[in-house]
Amino acid sequence: MASNQTFEEKMQELEQIVNQLEQGNTPLEESMNQFKKGIELTTELQKTLTQAETTMAKIVDKDGNESAFEVNEETDTNE
């Protein structure tokens, strides 16, 4: 597994591993290795998603300063 793979390439590799494991035709040792590789890919993909979420949740003011974007969830007070 190359560390310079794109998110999409990692996702495709993970899908291939899942499909292979679901078929059940793989020897136990190879299945264990594939499972471990799948877990590593899942961790990397989750890290990428978390970083993207953090980046997308920032706003930049007119001076170029970044701050966290916070959603104010207000409830209907017209009860």
pLDDT digits (tens, 9 = 90+) for 29-62: 999 999 999 999 999 999 999 998 888 777 777 7
Report which DSSP code applies to 69.
-
Long-range contacts of 55-59 (CB under 8 A, 24+ apart): none
Q: What is the pTM of this model?
A: 0.68
Report which DSSP code applies to 3.
T
pLDDT surpasses 70 at 20: yes
Pull the structure tokens for residue 3: 């560390």
Task: Look at residue 57 in the predicted model and tell me its pLDDT.
Answer: 78
Pull the structure tokens for residue 50: 């978390």
In the predicted model, what is the mean pLDDT of residues 11-18?
97
Task: Look at residue 75 in the predicted model and tell me its pLDDT.
Answer: 52
